[in-house]
C-alpha cells in the first residue's frame, strides 16, 4: 500500500460566458442592478433582480443601495473594533467584572460565537485580538502571558449581559460581523421585493433566488498564491486562477478564509490557534484556504476560520464533518479545504456519491442500448429516466391509460435518513437507525443485507433527486409507526391547510420529467404478455418482450435489457392468481390496490427462471376505511398512516384501546383481527374484524381538517361526535368505558409511556374532556406484497444457484427489476414509507445498470489502465474469514462484463482521502468468469494499511479507481483442470506469510471449485496444501475460509500454521518456515504437475525462494509475486 501527497484535483471550468452576456443584457434593460463599492476597506459587489413591483429601474436601484449601505453602517457601528465609538470597542475597553448590555444584533453574534467555541472545543475563538495585536507589535516574545486572557473563557455571556474577567480581554468580531451583514443584506433585499440577489463582500457571498439564466448562483473560490507570493498584490480578474466553482441554492452562503489575505508577520497567518496561543505558521501542510457553505454567512465565516485554525486539511475536515448533521439548525452543506503541498484539495462528499468525473468516464465505455421498462409507476419512471440519462433509448410500456399505478395512491410519504430536510429540522438520523428499523420490521422474511444497506445509503440521494431534479417539495417530516426517528418526507399542505397527497404529487412530477426526455418513448394501454428469451453460448438471456396493444394486436419488441416494474399481486384473487397459490387464506380479503396489481411481472420473471422469495408475505394495512354504505367492497380507501401518526387512537366495540397505534403495521393489523369483533350487517352477514379510529381536535388539526373534510363530507367515511357521550352513542358502548379509556390514555401521555401497550410516542393528547371527535370504521386489508422476484442490490433478477464450492445465486442475463414486484428487501413486513423509497432507489439502480449493458469491451480490468468502479456492497466477514475482515463488492462497468484477470492476478485500488492519493493491492476472491462484479477480501484494521481508511469511508454508490496487475496467471481448462505457463497442474502448494493470504484464498476457492465441479475421477495425487506463517495468532487472517473449504472437501485441502510467538496450548508449527516444514506440509518432491505459489512480504518470499532452491525446486515450478518483474508494472 502507498500514500502520495496530493490528489487528482484539477482547476475547474468556469460558468458559461453566455451567463455574463445575459447579465449584461438584463443590466442594460434595467431588469438587474450591479452595485459596487468599498466598505471598511473591503470591496463589495451586490447583484439584485427586482420583482415586477419594482420594475422602475432607477428607484429600485437606489432602494437596493440604500438597504445595503444601511446594513454596512450598522455593522461598522456595532462590530468594528477599528471604530472607537463602536459597541465592540466599548466592550473591549470595559473594566473587569463590569457588565455590558449588548444590543440585539450584538447578542445574536455573541451567542453564535459562544456556541461555536463550545462545539469546536475552543478552536474557534473570537477573543484572540490581544494575541494578534501583540504579535504585530512585539513578535512571538511574551505570548504566553497575553494568551492567558486572550480567549473566550475571559468573557461571560448571561441574560443580564456580557462581562469579562480580565480588563485586557478583547473581541475581534470583524469576520462574524461581515457574515452577519451579508445575511442581513440578503434578507432585507428579499423583504423589499428583490426576488434574487447575490451579495459578495470580500469573497463572502450569499445568494437568494436563482441566476437570471435559471440556474443556481455560483461562487468562484480563488486559488491561493504560492507562499513566497503572500503579501504581494493579487492577480487581476483576468489572470486569477480558481480552485472551485461552488453552486449556491436559494438561501445558501459561502465564506472563505485564506492565509494570503493578511499576515501578522512573515510566515505567520492572521489566523490564530487559540489552543496554542500563537498564529498558524504558513507551511505546505497548513490550510491555505477554507471555504464553507451553509445558510448563514456568519456561521460559514466562523467555521472557515476554525477549519484553518484546526491544522492540516485532515484536521479541518474532522472539525467540519460534525457540523454536517442535525446538531445545528443550519448544517454545513459543503466545504473546500486547500493546502499548497500536493496540492491537497478536500471537498465535502457523500460517502455514497460517485465522483462526478468517475461517472462521466464510466459512461464513456458503453454504446447506446435499447432498454424496455415494463410498468409505469414510480419505479418504472425512475428506471426510465436514469436509463435515458445513461445514453439508453427507452421504451416504457404501461397497461393502464396513464402512468401512476399504486405509486400515485401512496399517502404515507417516503422515508430517508440524513437528508438536508432532516438536518434543517434538527432530526439526528443515519443508516444505523434506519437499517435497524427496517430489519426489525422485516422479521420473519428475507431481508437481504445488501439491499437494505443500498436502500438506506441511497435514501438521502433519492429524496434530493426528487426535490432537485423532479421538483417535488418534500419538505414536511413525520414519524410513522416502527420508526425510531422522524424520517418520512411529505409534501407540505397548501396555504389553506389542505394536505397534498405525496404519491400523486410525485407521479405528477415524474410523468412530466419522463415526457421531457427525448430518449423515452411511452406506450400506454399496452399489456406485456411474455419476456423473450434466447440462448447464447449455452446461457439463456432476456432479449425483449411480447406485448398486446389497445386494439389487441400482438407485437414483438427486442431490446438489450428489460426492467420489470409491474408492482405486486394484491388485487387479483382469481383461481390462477399468485394470491390463490401462495396465500389462499387471504382470498376475499379487501385491498387498497388497483385492479392492475395482478402480479403479471412476477409471472413473467418466474417463466424465465427467476427465483421467487417471500411470496407468502403479504402486508395487511391496519386502517382501510369501511364505507357504511358498501362495507363489503373489495377495494377500499386507504386510511393514511398519518391518521395514527397525528394522534388518532383505535378503540374496540366496547370503547377500549387494545394496541400501540404506532406499532408496526403487521402488529396493529394482527391486534385488530385477534381482538375486535367482525363487522355485522342487519341481515346477519359478517365481514372481517374491525375497529374505530378516533381523532380529537388536536389530532384533526395535525392531520389536516381540509383532508378530513374530504373523507367525512365527500366520501362519508368519518362521522362527528360531541364529547364522550356522543362518542359512546356512536360506538354503541357504555360512556364510562370511553371516559376510563381516555383518562388512562391522557395519563399515559403525561407519563410518556403506556404500560398497557408500550406506546412511548404520543402525537396528540386525547382525554375525557375533549369535546370534538371524528370517528371512522377501519379494518385491515391487503396493502402490499413483500414477496416477488429476488434481486441483487443492483436490481439484477436472480435465479437459483448452480453447484460449486462456494454456492451462490446467479443472475438472469439482461433482466432487472424494481419496486413491489421484487422480494428480499422488506422481509416479513414492510416498514411504512419504504415503498416509494424502494421504487426510486432500485428503479434508478436498475435503470442505470440496464442502460450500461452494451459495453465496448467484454472485460474491464485487463487493459492496463486505471478505470473507475462503483462500490455495490460491503459484507462484514468476521465469522467467515476471520476478525476484522470484509468483502467489498464493486460493479464492473457492465452487468455482462468480466474482469479479464486470470486466477492469481491481483488488482490495485486507488482513492483520495484528505487530499492524498492512497493505493492498495488486493487479490479478488470472485471468479474470473463472474459477470458484472469483482469481490475483494481485505482486513479492515490498521494492518490493512492506509488504503483501509479510504475503503471504510466508502458506502454503496461511492467510487474509486481500479487497475489489473500481474500475478501467477493460473488458467482453468475446459475439463476443469488447471494450467500454468502451458503445463497442466494437478497439485497446488501455497506458501503464505504475514497478512498476504488473500491471493491464497482466491486460488484455493477457484482451484477447489473447479476440481469439485469436474467429471473426471480425482486421484490421490491432486489437491491443495497450504503453509501459513505469522508472528502471532492475532496476525492470522482469513483462516476461517480454509476451515470452511476443508470441512466440505477434506480430501482436497490441508493446511499447516506456523507462529513465531504461539499462544499457550498451540499444537502446530513454531518459529519460522524451514525446509523440513516445507517437505512435510507441501507437495514434495517437485514434479511437472505441481505448482507452488508464494504470497507474503517481499523479504518472506526472498527467503522462501532460497529454501526452494535448496530443496531442488526448479524455478518454473514455483511463483513469487516479489520476484515477478511484471507483477507491479
| Residues 1032 and 1059 sit within 8 Å (Cβ to Cβ) | yes
Three-state secondary structure string covering 93-148: CCCCCCEECCCHHHHHHHHHHHHHHHHCCCCCCCCCHHHHHHHHHHCCCCHHHHHC
DSSP labels, 182-197: HHHHHHHHHHTTEEEE
Q: Specify whether 358 is catalytic.
A: no
| Residues 292 and 120 sit within 8 Å (Cβ to Cβ) | no
**Distance from C-alpha of 799 to C-alpha of 806, rounded to nearest angstrom:** 16
Strand 2-4 relative to strand 253-258, pairing: unpaired
DSSP labels, 289-356: EEEEEES-HHHHHHHHHHHHHH-SHHHHHHHHGGGGSTTSSS---EEEEEETTTTEEEE---TTSPPH
Closest by Cα among 369, 395, 521 to 851? 369
| Residues 762 and 570 sit within 8 Å (Cβ to Cβ) | no
> DSSP class of residue 677?
P
**Distance from C-alpha of 792 to C-alpha of 804, rounded to nearest angstrom:** 19
- Catalytic option among 621, 872, 889, 1090: 621
3-state helix, strand and coil shares in percent for the chain, rounded to the nearest 5: 30, 30, 40
**Distance from C-alpha of 839 to C-alpha of 819, rounded to nearest angstrom:** 5
**Distance from C-alpha of 391 to C-alpha of 84, rounded to nearest angstrom:** 64
**Distance from C-alpha of 251 to C-alpha of 254, rounded to nearest angstrom:** 10
Q: Where are the alpha helices (DSSP H) in 139-254?
A: 143-147, 174-191
Residue 388 makes CB contacts below 8 A (sequence gap 6+) with 394, 517, 519, 520, 851
Q: Specify whether 1090 is catalytic.
A: no
The angle formed by the CA atoms of residues 1064, 1069 and 1074, to the nearest 5 degrees, is: 145
> DSSP class of residue 1129?
-
Residue 1044 makes CB contacts below 8 A (sequence gap 6+) with 880
Matching residue, cell 403479471: 600
The angle formed by the CA atoms of residues 409, 413 and 415, to the nearest 5 degrees, is: 135
Beta strands in 712-795 (DSSP E): 718-722, 772-785, 788-790
- Catalytic option among 33, 644, 830, 893: 644
| Residues 440 and 426 sit within 8 Å (Cβ to Cβ) | no
| Residues 781 and 635 sit within 8 Å (Cβ to Cβ) | no
Matching residue, cell 490441508: 1054
| Residues 1014 and 975 sit within 8 Å (Cβ to Cβ) | yes
Cα end-to-end distance, the chain, whole Å:
15
Which residues are annotated as catalytic?
Answer: 621, 644
Amino acid at each position: 500500500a502507498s500514500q502520495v501527497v496530493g490528489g487528482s484535483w484539477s482547476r475547474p471550468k468556469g460558468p458559461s460566458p453566455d451567463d455574463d452576456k445575459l447579465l449584461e443584457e438584463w443590466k442594460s434593460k434595467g431588469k438587474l442592478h450591479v452595485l459596487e463599492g468599498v466598505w471598511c476597506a473591503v470591496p463589495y459587489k451586490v447583484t439584485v433582480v427586482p420583482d415586477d413591483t419594482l420594475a422602475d429601474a432607477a428607484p429600485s436601484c437606489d432602494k437596493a443601495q440604500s438597504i445595503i449601505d444601511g446594513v454596512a453602517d450598522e455593522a461598522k457601528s456595532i462590530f468594528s473594533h477599528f471604530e472607537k465609538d463602536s459597541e465592540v470597542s466599548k466592550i473591549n475597553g470595559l473594566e473587569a467584572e463590569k457588565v455590558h448590555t449588548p444590543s440585539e444584533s450584538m447578542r445574536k453574534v455573541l451567542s453564535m460565537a459562544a456556541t461555536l467555541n463550545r462545539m469546536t472545543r475552543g478552536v474557534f475563538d473570537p477573543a484572540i485580538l490581544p494575541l494578534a495585536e501583540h504579535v504585530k507589535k512585539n513578535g512571538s516574545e511574551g505570548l504566553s502571558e497575553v494568551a492567558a486572557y486572550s480567549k473566550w473563557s475571559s468573557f461571560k455571556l448571561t441574560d443580564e449581559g456580557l462581562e469579562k474577567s480580565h480588563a485586557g480581554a478583547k473581541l475581534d468580531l470583524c469576520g462574524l460581523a461581515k457574515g452577519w451583514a451579508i445575511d442581513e443584506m440578503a434578507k432585507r433585499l428579499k423583504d423589499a421585493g428583490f426576488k434574487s440577489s447575490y451579495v459578495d463582500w470580500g469573497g463572502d457571498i450569499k445568494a437568494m433566488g436563482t441566476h437570471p439564466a435559471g440556474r443556481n448562483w455560483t461562487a468562484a473560490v480563488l486559488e491561493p498564491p504560492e507562499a513566497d507570493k503572500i503579501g504581494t498584490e493579487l492577480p487581476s480578474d483576468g489572470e486569477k486562477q480558481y480552485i472551485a466553482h461552488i453552486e449556491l441554492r436559494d438561501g445558501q452562503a459561502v465564506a472563505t478564509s485564506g492565509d494570503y489575505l493578511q499576515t501578522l508577520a512573515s510566515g505567520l497567518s492572521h489566523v490564530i490557534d487559540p489552543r496554542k496561543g500563537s498564529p498558524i505558521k504558513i507551511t505546505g501542510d497548513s490550510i491555505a484556504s477554507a471555504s464553507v457553505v451553509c445558510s448563514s454567512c456568519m456561521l460559514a465565516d466562523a467555521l472557515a476560520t476554525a477549519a484553518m485554525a484546526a491544522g492540516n486539511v485532515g484536521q479541518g475536515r474532522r472539525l467540519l464533518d460534525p457540523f454536517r448533521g442535525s446538531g445545528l439548525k443550519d448544517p454545513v452543506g459543503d466545504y473546500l479545504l486547500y493546502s499548497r503541498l500536493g496540492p491537497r484539495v478536500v471537498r465535502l462528499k457523500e460517502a455514497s456519491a460517485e465522483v462526478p468525473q468517475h461517472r462521466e468516464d464510466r459512461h464513456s465505455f458503453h454504446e447506446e442500448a435499447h432498454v424496455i421498462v415494463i410498468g409505469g409507476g414510480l419505479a418504472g419512471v425512475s428506471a426510465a429516466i436514469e436509463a435515458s440519462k445513461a445514453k439508453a433509448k427507452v421504451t416504457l410500456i404501461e397497461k393502464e391509460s396513464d402512468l401512476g399505478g399504486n405509486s400515485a395512491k401512496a399517502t404515507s410519504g417516503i422515508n430517508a435518513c440524513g437528508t438536508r430536510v432532516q438536518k434543517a429540522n434538527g432530526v439526528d438520523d443515519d443508516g444505523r437507525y434506519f437499517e435497524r428499523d427496517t430489519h426489525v420490521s422485516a422479521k420473519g422474511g428475507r431481508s437481504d443485507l445488501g439491499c437494505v444497506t443500498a436502500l438506506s445509503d441511497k435514501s438521502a440521494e433519492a429524496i434530493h433527486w426528487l426535490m432537485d431534479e423532479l421538483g417535488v417539495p418534500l419538505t414536511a417530516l413525520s414519524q410513522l409507526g416502527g420508526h425510531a426517528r422522524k424520517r418520512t418526507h411529505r409534501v407540505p399542505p397548501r396555504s389553506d391547510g389542505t394536505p397534498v397527497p405525496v404519491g400523486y404529487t410525485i407521479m405528477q412530477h415524474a410523468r412530466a420529467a419522463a415526457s421531457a426526455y427525448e430518449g423515452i418513448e411511452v406506450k400506454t394501454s399496452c399489456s406485456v404478455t411474455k419476456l423473450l428469451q434466447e440462448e447464447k453460448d449455452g446461457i439463456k438471456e432476456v432479449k425483449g418482450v411480447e406485448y398486446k396493444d389497445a386494439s389487441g394486436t400482438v407485437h414483438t419488441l427486442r431490446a438489450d435489457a428489460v426492467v420489470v416494474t409491474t408492482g405486486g399481486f394484491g388485487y387479483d384473487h382469481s383461481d390462477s392468481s399468485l394470491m390463490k397459490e401462495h396465500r389462499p387464506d387471504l382470498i376475499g380479503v379487501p385491498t387498497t390496490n388497483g385492479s392492475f396489481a395482478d402480479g403479471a411481472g412476477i409471472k413473467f420473471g418466474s417463466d424465465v427462471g427467476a427465483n421467487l422469495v417471500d411470496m407468502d408475505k403479504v402486508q395487511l394495512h391496519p386502517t382501510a376505511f369501511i364505507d357504511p354504505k358498501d362495507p363489503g367492497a373489495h377495494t377500499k380507501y386507504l386510511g393514511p398512516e398519518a391518521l395514527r401518526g397525528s394522534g388518532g387512537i383505535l378503540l374496540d366495540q366496547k370503547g377500549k384501546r387494545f394496541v400501540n397505534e404506532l406499532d408496526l403495521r403487521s402488529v396493529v393489523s394482527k391486534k385488530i383481527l385477534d381482538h375486535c369483533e367482525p363487522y355485522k350487517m342487519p341481515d346477519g352477514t359478517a365481514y372481517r374484524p374491525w375497529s374505530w379510529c378516533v381523532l380529537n381536535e388536536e389530532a384533526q388539526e395535525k392531520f389536516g381538517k381540509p383532508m378530513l373534510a374530504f373523507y367525512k363530507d365527500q366520501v362519508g367515511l368519518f362521522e362527528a361526535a360531541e364529547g364522550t357521550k356522543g362518542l359512546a352513542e356512536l360506538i354503541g358502548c357504555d360512556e364510562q368505558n370511553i371516559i376510563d379509556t381516555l383518562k388512562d390514555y391522557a395519563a399515559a401521555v403525561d407519563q410518556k409511556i403506556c404500560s398497557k401497550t408500550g406506546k412511548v410516542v404520543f402525537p396528540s393528547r386525547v382525554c375525557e374532556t375533549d369535546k370534538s371527535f371524528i370517528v371512522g370504521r377501519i379494518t385491515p386489508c391487503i396493502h402490499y406484497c413483500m414477496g416477488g422476484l429476488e434481486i441483487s442490490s443492483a436490481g439484477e433478477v436472480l435465479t437459483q444457484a448452480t453447484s460449486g464450492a462456494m454456492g451462490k445465486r446467479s443472475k438472469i442475463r439482461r433482466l432487472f427489476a424494481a419496486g413491489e414486484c421484487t422480494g428480499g428487501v422488506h422481509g416479513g413486513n414492510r416498514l411504512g414509507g419504504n415503498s416509494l423509497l424502494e421504487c426510486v432507489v432500485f428503479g434508478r439502480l436498475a435503470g442505470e445498470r440496464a442502460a450500461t449493458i452494451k459495453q465496448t469491451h467484454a472485460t474491464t480490468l485487463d487493459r492496463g489502465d486505471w478505470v473507475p468502479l462503483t462500490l455495490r456492497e460491503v459484507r462484514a466477514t468476521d465469522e467467515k474469514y476471520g476478525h476484522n475482515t470484509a468483502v467489498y463488492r464493486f460493479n464492473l462497468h457492465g452487468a455482462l462484463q468480466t474482469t479479464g484477470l486470470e486466477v492469481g492476478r491481483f488488482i490495485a485500488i486507488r482513492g483520495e482521502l484528505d487530499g492524498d492519493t492512497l493505493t492498495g493491492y488486493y487479490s479478488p476472491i470472485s471468479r474470473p468468469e463472474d459477470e458484472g462484479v469483482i469481490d475483494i477480501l481485505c482486513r479492515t484494521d490498521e494492518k490493512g494499511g492506509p488504503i483501509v481508511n479510504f475503503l471504510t469511508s466508502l458506502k454503496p454508490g461511492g467510487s474509486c479507481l481500479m487497475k489489473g496487475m500481474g500475478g501467477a496467471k493460473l488458467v482453468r481448462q475446459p475439463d476443469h483442470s488447471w494450467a500454468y505457463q502451458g503445463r497442466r497442474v494437478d497439485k497446488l502448494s501455497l506458501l503464505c506469510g504475514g497478512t498476504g493470504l488473500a491471493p491464497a484464498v482466491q486460488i484455493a476457492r477457484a482451484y477447489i471449485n473447479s476440481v469439485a465441479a469436474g467429471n473426471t475421477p480425482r486421484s490421490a495425487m491432486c489437491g491443495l496444501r497450504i503453509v501459513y506463517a505469522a508472528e502471532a495468532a492475532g496476525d492470522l487472517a482469513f483462516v476461517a475460509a480454509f476451515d470452511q473449504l476443508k470441512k466440505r472437501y477434506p480430501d482436497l485441502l490441508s493446511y499447516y500454521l506456523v507462529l513465531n510467538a504461539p499462544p499457550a496450548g498451540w499444537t502446530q508449527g513454531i518459529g519460522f518456515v524451514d525446509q523440513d516444514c516445507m517437505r512435510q506440509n507441501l507437495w514434495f518432491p517437485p514434479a511437472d504437475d505441481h505448482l507452488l505459489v508464494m504470497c507474503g512480504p517481499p523479504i518472506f518470499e526472498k527467503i522462501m525462494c532460497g529454501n526452494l532452491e535448496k530443496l531442488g525446486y526448479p524455478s518454473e515450478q514455483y511463483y513469487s509475486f516479489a520476484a515477478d518483474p511484471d507483477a507491479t508494472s
